[in-house]
Structure 1
Amino acid sequence: MAFAATALATGILVTFLPPAVPSGSAAAATVALLVQPAASTAARWVAGRYGDRHGSARLVVPGLLLSAAGVLTLVLTASQVAVVAGAAVFGAGLGITQNATLSLVHARADRPSYGAITALWNLAYDAGIGTGAGAFGLVAGYTGYPWAFALTAAAMLLALGPALRDAGRVTSGRRPR
């Protein structure tokens, strides 16, 4: 669920951030679209190092919360600083969540299943990007961009329940299903 939430938001950000910012802030959208994947890449590396030492399960909830906070910051589309900062925070959360979820699905499967799991994970990511962009477009048409970003951040938090339940099972020693 956490991975799905961040994948949906990725499609939203890359598709709708440029038209969401006022025309005088177009440079901020361009910078934000550079900063977001850079932050994701750096966060994946940090999450991988942390996960190797302490396990990846502890990273899903913080990654999801960072992602949602970044999307919520995009409500302030008129502020160039908020647009770039929101993209950076979202990117960091996305990178953490990507690394943690992919590591967890591999840890929970046997080695012969790795190819299928990786393909499904990538399919889920790509489908999430397209679904997020499509759904956001419908919502933004009725609410405007700031409210649509706020609703997206709130919707992302729906994944907290399953993420917290999974994290509790991992820390208690029970293997999640």
Structure 2
Amino acid sequence: MRAALEEDLPLAPSLSLACANRASTHEYERAFMVVTRRPRMATLGGVIFIVSNVFGSWALIFPVTPLLVSAVGGSGFAAGGTTGVFMTATIAAQLATPTLLRRYDFRPVVVSGCLLLGLPCIALVQWSHDITALMVISAVRGLGFGLVTVACSALPPHLSTSDRLGRAVAAQGMANAASQTVFLLIGMQLFRAGGVVAVSVVATAMAVTAALAALGLPRAMYGAIGAHSDSESTRGVLKRPIALASLAVVGIAAAYGGLSALVPLVGYPQSTHAGVILATVGGTVVAGRFVAGHYSHRILDRRSTAQIGVVAAIAGTMCFSVAVTSANAAFPVALAGAMAFGFGLGWIQNVTLMRTLVSVPPHRVGFASAAWNISMDAGIGLGATMTGAVADHSGFGIAHLSSAVIIALTVALPLAARQNRSQQHRQVMREVPASRE
């Protein structure tokens, strides 16, 4: 795993200019201009279009697969296991993506990822009653999702100048969050109204549309920009802060994975309520990240400020625990929990990402970004599987309470740990290629 992570993603122009050894600044800028002037879709808007469709296709099916498993008599463990299998495959693909990018460049990797994510959705129509087939479909889709997420997170630096890189990354992050929020809600409504056929067709169409758009990517973008090679690829990396941040990411992601797997299985008064709850979580994640980003200087310097997200996330999981035992107020309490948990999730995501980035020198930002993404996906898969097992044994209420305990132990404590002094004073560029935001 470490070796794969150390095969860094292509660096942003602003980073490569600082460390390129084989080309002068003039030669580098000329190569960059050749790439960005390629015809068809060498624009950030095109990348945002691809990402929006990819995350929309993912969000449509994400809450539906556990429902299909449950409908054929599968246990809560099996229902959550579909998410676990998906995320395991995603991580495997993310580990391999840097090597694939170096060998085949962006276009084939992104197109392949989109097709692997979308085409298996059609198989859901035929195999929706077979739990084993649902697991296999989840695994294949996870491979595609892993390829696209890592590759697309490296595209904005190649399609924007260094002075606009921060805006480019922010725009892509907002597109991700908005697409997830909207299509989580639409996916549940489509499934209730038209069954697995309707949601599968739309998810497939969105992924195929993204693949067609990706055909407009330049053929040799990776090769023209080049990548920095460092014989000591982990030199300058502060391992303890990264380990603490990664543990916190796994913890909060596990709580999110468990929540996403259980919410569709709870019998709320109306069938659309589960979709509304999941969409609310996605929407308030954006708010949490925005507010945390505004106060990022205080978050890094004060351990108590970082705990705001922890308190909100724990309060949210407690609300979900109460909601499953409250027949009359189930939906309002769950909705309040979704708002609190989503805000806390967004806050913690921003805190951990910032602490990860300031723990590495500029030329290792790709390593930090990949580590953060893999921790997030691993936590979602682990949380969905383990929370499903707890729900089978002790019920939904105890399962949500266990998520609160996980947050307290694996998120609150690492974020409370004193940061290394050299980390606090490390100079990091203002604009860096961040991960999936």
The reply to whether TM is greater than 0.5 is yes
RMSD: 1.9
Q: 1:123 aligns with which of 342, 352, 374?
A: 374
Unmatched 5+ residue regions in structure 2? 1-246, 424-437
Tell me, in whole angstroms, the C-alpha distance in 1 between the residues paired with 2:344 and 2:300.
14
Partner of 2:279: 34
Deviation at 1:81, TM superposition (A): 0.5
Q: Conserved in 2, the CA contact under 8 Å of 1:7 and 1:126?
A: yes
Cα pair 1:57 1:104 within 8 Å, conserved: no
Q: Which runs of 4+ in 1 moved over 3 A?
A: 55-59, 173-176
Aligned to 2:414: 162
Aligned AA (1:71): T
| Matched residue SS, 1:26 | coil
Tell me whether 24-33 or 97-106 shows the greater mean CA deviation.
Answer: 24-33
Contact preservation (8 Å) 1:63, 1:96: yes
Alignment length (residue pairs): 170
> Normalised by the size of structure 2, how large is the TM-score?
0.37
Q: Deviations over 1:114-169 (max 9, x none)?
A: 001101100110111000000011111000101111121122211322322x2xx2
Indicate the structure whose relative CO is greater, using CA pairs within 8 Å and at least 6 residues apart: 1
Given candidates 297, 300, 303, the residue that maps to 1:56 is 300
1:107 aligns with 358
Residues 123, 57 of structure 1: alpha-carbon distance in 2 compared, 3 angstrom cutoff: farther
Confirm whether residue 174 of structure 1 aligns to residue 405 of structure 2. Answer: no
Matched residue, 2:387: 136
Contact 2:314/2:408, CA 8 A, preserved across alignment: yes
TM-score by length of 1: 0.88
Amino acid at match of 2:380: I
Residue 249 of structure 2 contacts residue 372 of structure 2 at CA under 8 Å; is this kept in 1?
A: no
How far residue 27 of structure 1 moved from its aligned partner, in angstroms, is 2.8
Residues of 2 paired with 1:161 and 1:10: CA distance?
A: 18
Counterpart AA for 1:43: G
* Displacement after TM superposition at 1:55 (Å): 4.0
Question: Structure 1 43/26 Cα, relative in aligned 2: closer, same or farther at 3 Å?
Answer: same
Give the counterpart letter for 2:307 in structure 1: V
State the partner residue of 1:94: 345
Greater fraction of residues in helix: 1
CA distance in 1, matches of 2:300, 2:339: 21
**114-123 or 54-63, which deviates more:** 54-63
Q: Which runs of 5+ in 1 are unaligned?
A: none
**Counterpart code for 2:413:** G
Considering only CA atoms, is the larger Rg found in Structure 1 or Structure 2? 2
- The answer to whether the 8 A contact 2:300-2:351 is kept is yes
Structure 2 residue aligned with 1:66: 312
CA–CA distance in 2 between the matches of 1:88 and 1:65? 13
C-alpha separation in 1, matches of 2:315 and 2:399: 14
**Is the contact made by 2:250 and 2:378 (CA closer than 8 Å) also made in structure 1?**
no
Map Cα deviations across residues 50-95 of structure 1 (whole Å, 9 max, x no partner): 11x4243544322122112111110122411111111110000000
Q: Match of 1:10?
A: 256
In the superposition, relative to structure 1, how do residues 90 and 11 fare at CA in structure 2: closer, same or farther (>3 Å)?
same
Alignment identity in percent?
31
| Residue 111 (structure 1) shift | 0.6
